[in-house]
Structure 1
Amino acid sequence: MRPIVEFCASNMHNGSDVTMKRLEQDPSLDVIEYGCLGNCGQCYMEPYALVNGEIVAASDADELYELIMAKIKELETAFDFDL
Structure 2
Amino acid sequence: MSEISFCENNFAYGTEELANKLENELDGVSVEVEACLGYCGDCALGPFALVDGELIQADSVEELYEMIKEEL
Identity of aligned residues (%): 35
TM superposition shift of 1:8: 0.3
Mark the structure with the bigger radius of gyration.
1
Aligned to 1:81: none
Q: CA RMSD in A?
A: 0.8
Aligned to 1:28: 28
Aligned to 2:55: 55
Equivalent residues, number: 71
Tell me the alpha carbon deviations over residues 7-54 of structure 1, each in whole angstroms, 9 at most, x when there is no partner. Answer: 000000011112111101123210000000000011011000000000
Normalising by structure 2, we get a TM-score of 0.93
Distance, in Å, in 2 between the alignment partners of 1:12 and 1:28 is 24
Q: Which SS does the other structure have where 1:13 is aligned?
A: helix
Aligned to 1:38: 38
Any stretches of 5+ residues in structure 1 without a counterpart? 73-83
Q: Which SS does the other structure have where 2:19 is aligned?
A: helix
Normalising by structure 1, we get a TM-score of 0.81
